[in-house]
Structure formats: structure tokens, C-alpha cells
């Protein structure tokens, strides 16, 4: 092993509290030199600040002190894998689910998951937005055989209990937060640089999942109707187009 | 337009930055904050870039790690450099990535001959990947280490000679490190190779709230008067260079930062290049 690597191994061990291995390189005999604490604090602050940016709803629900404590523990177990911290915390929702002090907050991991999807939507690739006018001249059979491409920023998450409603209320700054008992699906889409989010009904969720799995629009409409027989496919489709849910249309066979 | 004094670009100041027309104004960003597939930050940087020169100042390539620079990171940096055409690309004489984990800080190392070889290789890889010269910045130091074969100025001078890179001199880092490790900031600055210096950083620092007596490079306060004095001394010797006010914490209104930036621009403009001290 090179001396540089041996030093870096020892430095990382010292950051984690085991200063003995670093002592051959230290001028001071004090293995807990104050300079090490400066590096340790800067690293912890960098990780906590990144997680606070990426999980604002979790932080709002549990408060700064609780959040910081959890974020410090998480960052020690799961440090960032690369320098682009805007992506940090993909593992945080699952970690919170196993985090003992969060046991009496059963919705917290779900809230973290929705914060993560919001970040993914914000930084997803750019793509054009399919406009209703592009479909206006298509005969019904052609439209039924066509496939839509979902916008790269579109995210969809379904929960057994009403985590999406709670997340939306917390995000809006409401004080009265309630966890509904029915399943809910949240739909997130970035449009004109901002992420919008709303509850999607069962028909919309079934329709979007069918599109994501590559079904033609006719089949996607059938699956939406199976999920929610009372739904109006025309207004459902028009609403999703207005949301910016689609980035393009592929005719079958290609025109 | 020739870039004179610039500001670190903060997301809360995007709109102010786009419309500001101060002469010589430029903006610097950490490329790591823009390494996304898409989204509003990239769009805002695009709008800033349409009006102002931009530099990319990396904080995460980990040039002093005993490992090759991360290939994905280099590719992402190249994409940003191709898209935004920065007038400067820079990184730090420090490491942050170790065995797959990234520590968001600029960490020190013993400046041995072997470390110099490794860092020369890494700077060479960075310059090859980008197809351009880069600047390397002196870090803030907090921990006295044994085993240095070269002092920092000699190390940086050798790095310049062997790789063709330039230097980004952070005058506040020189002040903080000199105070923390017990050497003279003036001696350090006077010994730097003038022709290699392509950019200067100025920032604020603060005493360690833990009471250790260390100074911490917080980027959370105005530039200290002692640092302004060192800055003037440096540019009186080397001539004007693009100079950046860095502020990353406790961020004031754009106008407040712009006033600090104007002070740096006035210092740069006050230098009569015909009467420069011989370097």
C-alpha cells in the first residue's frame, strides 16, 4: 500500500474516532487534535445540509434537532458515494424505516420517499411536452394504437395509507396534519422548471402505469376503466396532457 | 469584456445576477451543484452565462486521493465545460473521496514526493479529459502533519512545472493556514510563481467556536481587513487577476456582496501595470 493511501485510511479512521493510526503523521501527540474536529464538523455539516435540502418535509415534521441527529447517524453509515450532493440520500427513506427512534412515526419513511421523488423530478432530464393539439387530427383508431412517452420527470407513488395527503399538507405548511386511512397515489411532474404534485385517482394511476409498461393508449384506457369504472377517459387524458405528463407520441405502425 | 472581480453565484441571487451589468463582473459555480440531467439550476446558469463570463470551481474531484479521478465525475465536468464554456476551470489541492465514500470537505495529506507524482498524474488526467489547462487552489489547513518533503509553495510550483497547470490563490486560505500552522502569510504569497497565478479568491473566516484558537474558513462573513491587505500586496507584485468574492454561509443581499466585489474591482483597477514590482 502507498503511504498516501495508508495516510488516508488512517485519516478516515481518525475522523470516525480512532485517532491512534494517524499518530505517526501528527505533530502533536494529542490524537484528538482540534484540527481533526474541524474536518469532522465540516464533513458532518456538508452531509446534514445536503440532506436538509433534499428532505425538507421530513425536517419540517420532526424538527431541526431530531433531523440533524438522524442525518449525522445516516451520513456515518451511508456517506455520499460521489461529490454531487444534490443526489445525496437515495438510501435515506429505507434507512429511516429501520431507524428505531422513528418507530412511532410510521409515515416518516414514506414522507422521505416522496421528498426523494420530488428531487428526482426536479433534476430529471429535459424533454418536450406533448400538447393536445398534436392529437387533434388523429383518427380514433390511430390514437388507440398509439403509445405515449412519459415525461422523464414524472414520478408516481402509491401508499396503503394517506401519506401523499399528509406530505402535501406538510409541504403547504399546514399545521393540522392527518394520516388518512385509504390508499393514495401521488403524481409529481416538473413543468417550466418547477415540480408540481397532486393526488392522482385510481384511474389515472392505472393509466400512467399502463403507459409506462408500454401499453397502447386503447389498452391503457381499458386498464383505467378496470381500476375505476366510472372514470371519463377523455377528461382523464386531457388532464394528464395539461399536467405535462407526456413528452411524445409514437404511432403504431410508425407514420 | 475582460473579467475583473466576480462573485460566487448563489441560487437565491439568480435573478439579480442575470440583470446586473457591473463592468467586468463574472460568476463562479461549483460544477457539482449542476451535475444533473436537467432542471431549473442548469436553466438559470444558462441565463447567467448569456450575460456574464462563468468559471467552474470544482470541490469534489479529489485530486490528492491515491486513486484516479472518478471517470463519471470527469465526464460530467466535461459536459458542463462544453455547455457553459467557462473562462477558468479549477480544483483543489486536497482529497475528499476515499474507497468509494465521499467526504464533503477538502482534506490534507503529507506532501511527499510520491504524493506529488500521484497528484501530477491526476491533474494531467483532468487536463487531458477537459482538453484544457486547469488551476489548482491552495487549501485551508487545520492540522499540523509530519512527513512533508516539500512546503506547500514548492509543492504547487513543482505541480505547475510538471503539469502545465496554473494556480488559483485563495488569499483567505493562506491567511487561515498561516495562522493555524504558524507561518508567515506574506512569505508564502511572495514565493508563489507569479506567471502561474490565474485567479484569486477572497472570503471571510471566523475563530473556531469550540475555542481551539484555530481560524476556520467559513465563507460566512465579509473578507477580513488583513486579507484585503494581503490581496493588495499580492497583486501589486503580480498584477491584476480575476478575483472572486466567495460567500457560502449567512448569505447577505446581492447588493451587499456586489459592494464587496466592487472593492476588489477597485483594488484591481488601482494597479498601474507599468509600475509592477519585479516578480
Mark which residues 156-185 of B lie under 8 Å from A by CB: 180
pLDDT for the residue numbered A19: 86
Distance in Å, alpha carbon of B147 to nearest chain A alpha carbon: 7
pLDDT for the residue numbered A177: 81
Closest residue to A26, CB basis, from B66, B99, B146: B146
CB B234 within 8 A of CB B171: yes
CB contact under 8 A, B146 and A27: yes
Task: Please write the tens of the pLDDT for every residue from A179-227.
Answer: 888 899 999 999 999 999 999 999 999 999 999 999 999 999 999 999 9
* B278: confidence class by pLDDT, cuts 50, 70, 90: low
* B253: its cell numbers: 443581499
Least Cα distance to A66 among A51, A86, A82, A87 occurs for A51
pLDDT for the residue numbered A178: 82
Residue A76 pLDDT greater than 90, yes or no:
yes
Pairing of strands B54-57, B5-8: unpaired
Query: What is the ipTM, given to two decimal places?
Result: 0.95
* Dist. CA B234–CA B124, nearest whole Å: 28
* B277: its cell numbers: 514590482
Residue B27 pairs in a beta bridge with B7, B54
Pairing of strands B95-98, B88-92: unpaired
Task: Please write the tens of the pLDDT for every residue from A126-168.
Answer: 999 999 998 989 999 999 999 999 999 999 999 988 999 999 9
Least Cα distance to A40 among A66, A22, A58, A64 occurs for A22
* A1: confidence class by pLDDT, cuts 50, 70, 90: confident
* CB < 8 Å to B73, chain A: 82-84
Higher-confidence position of A31 and A153:
A153
Closest residue to A4, CB basis, from B59, B61, B109: B109
pLDDT for the residue numbered B72: 97
The residue written with cell numbers 442548469 in the block is B42
Residue B263 pLDDT greater than 90, yes or no:
yes
Average pLDDT score, chain A: 94
- 3 state DSSP class of A131: coil
Taking one residue from A and the other from B, the number of pairs with CB-CB distance under 8 angstroms is 152
* B275: confidence class by pLDDT, cuts 50, 70, 90: low
* Dist. CA B186–CA B180, nearest whole Å: 15
Q: Does B149 touch chain A (CB under 8 A)?
A: no
- 3 state DSSP class of B180: helix
Total residues found in chain A within this entry: 255
Radius of gyration, alpha carbons of chain A: 24
* DSSP conformation letters of A43-78: HHHHHHHHHHHH-HHHHHHH-HHHHHHHHHHHHHHS
CB B107 within 8 A of CB B97: no
CA angle A85, B42, B56 (to 5 degrees): 70
pTM: 0.95
Helix, strand, coil share (%) of chain B residues, nearest 5: 45, 20, 40
CB contact under 8 A, A125 and B180: no
- 3 state DSSP class of A38: helix
* Dist. CA B20–CA B160, nearest whole Å: 35
pLDDT for the residue numbered B277: 62
Angle between helices A34-54 and A3-15 (to 10 degrees): 70
Closest residue to A43, CB basis, from B59, B72, B103: B103
* Dist. CA B196–CA B225, nearest whole Å: 26
Task: Please write the tens of the pLDDT for every residue from B114-145.
Answer: 999 999 999 999 999 999 999 999 999 999 99
Task: Please write the tens of the pLDDT for every residue from B59-91.
Answer: 999 999 999 999 999 999 999 999 999 999 999
Task: Give residue A198's region: left, alpha or beta (phi > 0; psi -120 to 50).
Answer: beta
Alpha helices in chain A (DSSP H): 3-15, 34-54, 56-62, 64-77, 92-97, 108-123, 140-145, 163-171, 202-212, 217-227, 233-243
pLDDT for the residue numbered B274: 66
Minimum Cα–Cα distance from A38: chain B residue? B142
Segment B6-25 mean pLDDT: 97
Mark which residues 46-75 of B lie under 8 Å from A by CB: 59-62, 64-66, 70, 72-73
Q: Does B206 touch chain A (CB under 8 A)?
A: no
* A58: its cell numbers: 421530513
CB contact under 8 A, B72 and A82: yes
Q: Where along chain B do its domains lie?
A: 5-275
Handedness of CA A200, A203, A207, A213 (dihedral sign): positive
Q: How many CB atoms lie within 10 A of CB B15?
A: 12
Q: Which of A72, A75, A84 to mutate to test the interface with B (most CBs of B within 10 A)?
A: A84
Segment B219-245 mean pLDDT: 97
* B95: its cell numbers: 482529497
Handedness of CA A236, A242, A246, A250 (dihedral sign): positive
Mark which residues 116-145 of B lie under 8 Å from A by CB: 118, 141-145
Average pLDDT score, chain B: 96
Task: Please write the tens of the pLDDT for every residue from B167-221.
Answer: 999 999 999 999 999 999 999 999 999 999 999 999 999 999 989 999 999 999 9
What is the phi/psi pair of residue B80, to 5°?
-65, -40
Residue A31 pLDDT greater than 80, yes or no:
no
* DSSP conformation letters of B128-172: HHHTS--EEEPPP--S-BS--SS-HHHHHHHHHHHH--EEEEEHH
* B6: confidence class by pLDDT, cuts 50, 70, 90: very high
* B239: confidence class by pLDDT, cuts 50, 70, 90: very high
Closest residue to B214, CB basis, from A24, A28, A34: A34
* Dist. CA B148–CA B93, nearest whole Å: 14
User: Under CATH, which number does the domain B5-275 receive?
Assistant: 3.20.20.150
What is the phi/psi pair of residue B82, to 5°?
-65, -40
Amino acid at each position: 500500500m502507498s503511504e498516501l493511501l495508508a495516510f488516508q485510511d488512517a485519516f478516515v479512521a481518525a475522523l470516525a474516532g480512532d485517532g491512534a493510526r494517524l499518530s505517526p503523521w501528527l505533530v502533536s501527540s494529542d490524537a484528538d487534535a482540534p484540527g481533526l474536529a474541524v474536518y469532522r464538523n465540516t464533513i458532518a455539516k456538508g452531509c446534514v445540509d445536503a440532506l436538509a435540502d433534499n428532505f425538507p418535509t421530513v425536517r419540517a415534521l420532526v424538527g431541526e434537532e431530531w433531523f440533524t441527529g438522524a442525518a449525522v447517524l445516516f451520513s456515518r453509515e451511508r456517506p455520499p458515494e460521489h461529490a454531487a450532493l444534490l443526489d445525496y440520500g437515495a438510501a435515506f427513506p429505507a434507512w429511516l424505516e429501520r431507524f428505531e427512534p422513528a418507530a412511532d412515526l410510521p409515515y416518516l419513511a414514506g414522507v422521505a420517499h416522496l421528498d426523494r421523488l420530488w428531487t428526482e423530478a426536479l433534476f430529471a432530464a429535459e424533454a418536450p411536452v406533448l400538447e393536445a393539439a398534436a392529437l387533434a387530427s388523429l383518427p380514433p383508431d390511430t390514437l388507440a394504437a398509439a403509445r405515449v412517452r412519459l415525461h422523464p420527470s414524472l414520478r408516481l407513488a402509491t401508499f396503503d395509507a394517506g401519506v401523499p395527503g399528509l406530505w402535501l399538507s406538510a409541504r403547504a405548511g399546514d399545521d393540522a396534519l392527518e394520516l388518512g386511512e385509504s390508499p393514495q397515489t401521488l403524481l409529481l411532474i416538473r413543468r417550466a422548471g418547477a415540480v408540481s404534485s397532486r393526488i392522482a385517482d385510481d384511474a389515472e394511476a392505472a393509466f400512467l402505469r399502463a403507459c409506462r409498461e408500454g401499453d397502447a393508449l386503447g389498452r391503457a384506457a381499458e386498464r383505467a376503466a378496470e381500476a375505476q369504472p366510472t372514470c371519463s377517459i377523455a377528461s382523464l387524458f386531457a388532464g394528464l396532457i395539461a399536467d405535462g405528463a407526456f413528452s411524445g407520441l409514437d404511432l403504431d405502425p410508425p407514420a | 469584456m475582460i473579467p475583473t472581480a466576480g462573485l460566487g453565484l448563489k441560487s437565491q441571487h439568480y435573478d439579480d445576477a442575470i440583470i446586473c451589468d457591473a463592468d467586468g463582473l463574472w460568476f463562479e459555480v461549483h460544477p457539482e451543484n449542476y451535475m444533473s440531467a436537467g432542471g431549473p439550476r442548469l436553466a438559470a446558469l444558462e441565463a447567467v452565462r448569456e450575460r456574464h463570463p462563468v468559471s467552474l470551481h470544482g470541490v469534489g474531484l479529489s485530486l490528492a486521493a491515491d486513486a484516479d479521478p472518478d471517470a463519471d465525475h470527469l465526464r460530467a465536468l466535461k459536459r458542463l465545460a462544453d455547455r457553459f464554456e467557462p473562462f477558468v476551470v479549477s480544483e483543489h489541492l486536497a482529497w475528499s473521496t476515499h474507497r468509494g465514500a465521499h467526504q464533503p470537505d477538502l482534506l490534507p495529506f503529507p506532501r511527499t514526493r510520491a504524493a506529488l507524482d500521484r497528484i501530477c498524474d491526476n491533474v494531467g488526467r483532468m487536463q487531458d479529459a477537459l482538453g484544457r489547462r486547469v488551476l489548482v487552489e491552495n487549501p485551508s489547513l487545520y492540522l499540523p502533519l509530519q512527513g512533508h518533503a516539500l512546503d506547500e509553495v514548492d509543492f504547487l510550483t513543482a505541480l505547475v512545472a510538471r503539469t502545465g497547470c496554473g494556480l488559483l490563490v485563495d488569499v483567505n486560505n493562506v491567511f487561515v493556514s498561516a495562522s493555524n500552522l504558524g507561518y508567515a502569510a506574506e512569505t508564502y504569497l511572495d514565493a508563489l510563481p507569479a506567471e502561474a497565478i490565474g485567479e484569486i479568491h477572497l472570503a471571510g473566516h471566523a475563530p473556531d467556536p469550540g475555542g481551539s484558537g484555530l481560524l476556520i474558513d467559513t465563507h460566512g462573513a465579509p473578507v477580513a481587513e488583513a486579507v484585503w491587505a494581503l490581496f493588495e500586496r499580492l497583486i501589486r507584485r503580480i498584477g491584476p487577476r480575476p478575483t472572486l468574492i466567495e460567500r457560502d454561509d449567512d448569505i447577505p443581499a446581492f447588493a451587499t456582496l456586489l459592494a464587496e466585489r466592487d472593492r476588489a474591482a477597485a483594488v484591481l483597477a488601482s494597479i498601474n501595470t507599468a509600475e509592477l514590482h519585479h516578480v
